[in-house]
Amino acid sequence: MKPFLTLLLESYRGLKSETIFWVTVGLSLLVAVLFLSIGFDENEISFFFGATNIEFDFSGRGGRLVQEIGYIMIFTNLIAGGWLTFIAIILALISCASIFPDAMKEGSAGMLMTKAPSRLQVFLAKLTGSLFFVFIQVGLFVVIVFVAFRWRLGVWNFSVFWYVPAVLLVFLNLYSFMVLLGVLTRSVMTSIMLTMLLWGISAGVDWAITYHESAYQLSQYVDAPTGEIVPEEEVEFRMPEMEKVEGDPQILSQIGTLKIVHSFFPKNSPIMESAEKKLVLDGMAGMLASDGGDVSQKLEDEGELDDAMGKLTANDSTFYSIGTSCIFAFVMLSIAGWLFCRKDL
Amino acid sequence: MSDYVLDLSGIRKTYRGGVEALKGIDLQVPRGCIYGLLGPNGAGKSTIVKILTTLIRRSGGDGTMLGKPIGDRETLQKVGLLPEHTQFPPYLTGRQVIEFAAGLQNVPSALTRERTDALLAKVWMTESQHRQIKTYSKGMKQRIGIAQALVSDPKIIFLDEPTDGVDPAGRREFRSLVRELREEGRTIFINTHILSELEPIVDRVAIMANGEILGEGKLDELRTEKTGYVVGFEGQLSAKSLSKLQDGDLEVDGGSVRLPSTNALDAQPVIDLIRQEGLVITDVSLKSQSLEDLFIGLVGGGSSPPPVPGNSVQPPRIPQA
Ligand SMILES: Nc1ncnc2c1ncn2[C@@H]1O[C@H](COP(=O)(O)OP(=O)(O)OP(=O)(O)O)[C@@H](O)[C@H]1O
Ligand SMILES: [Mg+2]
């Protein structure tokens, strides 16, 4: 146990000695505090703890609830969508990219891998160290966001903490691939570049599936008299004259193929989306409960809300995404670990 | 259990790309000695040490270290290594490197502090212990490298080019440190191509080149094998006499002829031959070979051909302009 802890401590010291580590932590805190600094009241949104503000009349547009939804939207779109899913993960990947190639350099291997800990222990310690770094970084960030929600919306929204495992899983997916490349090529640059490529491809496949799915939905509606597919922008106006038919089988088979391809890739956006769903739904439920006002009466019985939440969160695709992503990471890490234990250094 | 701390037979290593670095190494190292492994660059010395410390995998052969099969993790806890191209984490201080090694080798925390202090003093690094490695000179890094190798109280210590970058005073300190380690009952295995380093301290040497061991034994024994009369002269021998001497298995080197014999009578025909040429004899004496002569004799170099039959070693020669 002691050698393993020593390795962990050493990984952490190594990270700490890199500038990129502090840049990442600093930026992360900055973004969290920026979010914390956004406030609003009846007729304005303020930024930087009230240093600047924009007039915005909420009273005519649904009042408090709209403000609150707006606040959550800022979080999901900008903070979670932009920062957490994208920049924070890129920074974390770059910070951790050199860990494995460095450990395998002749000079450091002579120190690390000729002693009591087995190579597998060294591998696991380095991996744990990287994950721990991301955990700390995201954890800290989310705690600040959690406080922000309480301060601005008046609810303790524990669902934000779902972002911690979600970001960790997304990171692990990409990182597992990066570790494999690092062990194979021992080149930091190559592993960063190819990992970004994997990310791009998996995002591309994701997007292609969404695109084809909406195309398929459109193909299900035809103009009743002529049997032609109704163009997207006209669907809304021509509802009465349309009829629902079997969609285009060709698109369906394309979706099938894409989904098979997709199953081999890490599923980053589906994972982040499931965290988002949890957050939004719990956030709404919390606000409605604390509101006690007009809106919550519309959803008189709690059951209705629960049903809606259940449908959104417990759907198969979440488990499918998480499951296949875990398998992806496991396979990548197994190969990487096996190579790491066998390679000549 | 064998009395050897290291017992290797037929160890082979072929690197990816086909370099045959070791061609069947047999080696026995007795307990408690200073063992020198000598060889020119690329001989395969580091390859042996890397196999023993699990940095690389052997392609064939077998062996034991401290009575356990090569690669046993528990055994490695009792093994110290100063690797060839050490690179310690540059952000650590000298002291932290030793403590890091102690942690990896499962040294109890209570002992770590005390041992680290002692080792720092031993390698004369107490004063610079709190400076970061990246501020150290080459020789200072090497000292810390030796200290970290000793922190687990190892029974066998591998030092790969230990005095690389260490100044003359440091080399002397190093030699006394190694002797001290032997007194404590440890076995010290030193790789080097700097012969003068080993001569005063080693108990046994193995000389290797091109992945093969060419000679092995106690330094004194190896030397007496090679003791004989040396006839010194002034001037140039004719080609005819030269080939005559060489056919008689004598080593001719510039101004001297070395005989494999300790009998003074055997030197007489050689003296006659040289005098017939009209050359002046400057010196006739019984000499034992220095380690360097032994080395050059076995590995090849200078004008003497490699004496070991069937060995294909070509000494590296610097092309003449
Ligand atoms: N990783 C490697 N891949 C391919 N060949 C290698 C590798 N490492 C060493 N070699 C080759 O194996 C042979 C032995 O190398 P080794 O490092 O063991 O020599 P050495 O005796 O330690 O030399 P030196 O005195 O220069 O340290 C050399 O021919 C070298 O080129
Ligand atoms: Mg070497």
Q: Tell whether the model's pLDDT for residue B311 goes beyond 80.
A: no
Among the listed residues A122, A108, A165, the one whose alpha carbon sits nearest the alpha carbon of residue B91: A108
Tokens 């970004």 correspond to A196
Q: Tell whether the model's pLDDT for residue B229 goes beyond 50.
A: yes
Q: Which among B167, B195, B222 is the end of a domain?
A: B222
Chain A residues touching residue B81 (CB < 8 angstroms):
110, 114
As a whole number, mean pLDDT of residues B201-225 equals 85
Give domain status of residue B297, yes or no: no
Strands A52-55 and A44-47: antiparallel
Which helix (H) or strand (E) element contains residue A143?
helix A119-153
Same domain, B252 and B194: no
CA–CA gap between residue A156 and residue A101 (Å, rounded): 43
Q: Would the pTM of this model clear 0.95, i.e. be above it? A: no
Q: In this predicted model, which residue has the larger pLDDT, B68 or A220?
A: B68
Give me the CATH number covering residue B263.
Answer: 3.30.70
What is the complex's ipTM, to 2 decimals? Answer: 0.77
What pLDDT is attached to residue B314? 44
Same domain, B238 and B205: no
Give domain status of residue B238, yes or no: yes
Q: Tell whether the model's pLDDT for residue A220 goes beyond 90.
A: no
A338 CB near a chain B CB, below 8 Å? no
Burial class (CB in 10 A: 0-12, 13-18, 19+), B294: buried
Same domain, B206 and B249: no
What pLDDT is attached to residue B6? 94
Q: Tell whether the model's pLDDT for residue B312 goes beyond 50.
A: no
Among the listed residues B86, B77, B198, the one whose alpha carbon sits nearest the alpha carbon of residue B145: B86
Per-residue pLDDT band for B48 (boundaries 50, 70, 90) equals very high
Give domain status of residue B295, yes or no: no
Give domain status of residue B309, yes or no: no
Laid out side by side, the sheet with B187-192 consists of: B79-82, B156-160, B187-192, B34-38, B204-209, B212-218
Beta bridge partners of A236: none
What pLDDT is attached to residue B14? 94
Same domain, B145 and B259: no
In whole numbers, what is the pLDDT of chain A averaged over residues? Answer: 81
Q: Which among B196, B222, B248 is the end of a domain?
A: B222
As a whole number, mean pLDDT of residues A272-287 equals 74
Give domain status of residue B311, yes or no: no
What pLDDT is attached to residue B305? 37
Give the list of residues 6+ apart from residue A177 with CB closer than 8 angstroms, or none. Answer: A194, A195, A198, A266, A332
Number of domains in chain B: 2
Same domain, B40 and B169: yes
Q: Tell whether the model's pLDDT for residue B45 goes beyond 50.
A: yes
Same domain, B12 and B156: yes
Q: Cβ of A9 and B103 within 8 Å?
A: yes
Same domain, B237 and B216: no
What pLDDT is attached to residue B321? 42
Give domain status of residue B252, yes or no: yes
User: Is the CB–ligand 1 distance for residue B46 below 6 Å?
Assistant: yes
Same domain, B160 and B180: yes
The protein residue with its alpha carbon nearest to ligand 1, atom 3, reads B15
Q: Tell whether the model's pLDDT for residue A203 goes beyond 70.
A: yes
What pLDDT is attached to residue B153? 93
CA of B10 to the centre of ligand 1 (A): 18
CB B166 within 8 A of CB B143: yes
Give me the CATH number covering residue B170.
Answer: 3.40.50.300
The whole-angstrom distance between residue A129's C-alpha and the CA centroid of its chain comes to: 20
The CB density around residue B87, as the number of other CB atoms within 10 Å, is 17
What pLDDT is attached to residue A286? 66
Q: Cβ of A107 and B85 within 8 Å?
A: yes
Q: Tell whether the model's pLDDT for residue B110 goes beyond 70.
A: yes
Same domain, B70 and B156: yes
Same domain, B122 and B155: yes
What pLDDT is attached to residue B310? 37
What pLDDT is attached to residue B163? 85
In whole numbers, what is the pLDDT of chain B averaged over residues? Answer: 85
> CA nearest A11 in B: which residue?
B89
Same domain, B204 and B58: yes
What pLDDT is attached to residue B69? 94
Chain A residues touching residue B77 (CB < 8 angstroms):
115-116
Chain A residues touching residue B152 (CB < 8 angstroms):
115-116
Per the structure, the complete domain to which residue B169 belongs is given by 4-222
CB B36 within 8 A of CB B26: no
Q: Which two tokens stand for residue A166?
A: 């979600």
What pLDDT is attached to residue A278? 77
Give domain status of residue B280, yes or no: yes
Q: Cβ of A6 and B100 within 8 Å?
A: yes
CA–CA gap between residue A327 and residue B143 (Å, rounded): 47
What pLDDT is attached to residue A296? 45
Give domain status of residue B318, yes or no: no
CA of B192 to the centre of ligand 2 (A): 8
Judged by average pLDDT, the poorest of A288-302, A327-341, B199-213 is: A288-302
Same domain, B189 and B238: no
Q: Which among B172, B197, B222 is the end of a domain?
A: B222
A213 three-state secondary structure: helix
CA–CA gap between residue B166 and residue B197 (Å, rounded): 11
Per-residue pLDDT band for B304 (boundaries 50, 70, 90) equals very low
What pLDDT is attached to residue B254? 78
Judged by average pLDDT, the poorest of A70-79, A121-130, B38-47, B187-196 is: A70-79
Among the listed residues A98, A96, A86, A91, the one whose alpha carbon sits nearest the alpha carbon of residue A189: A98
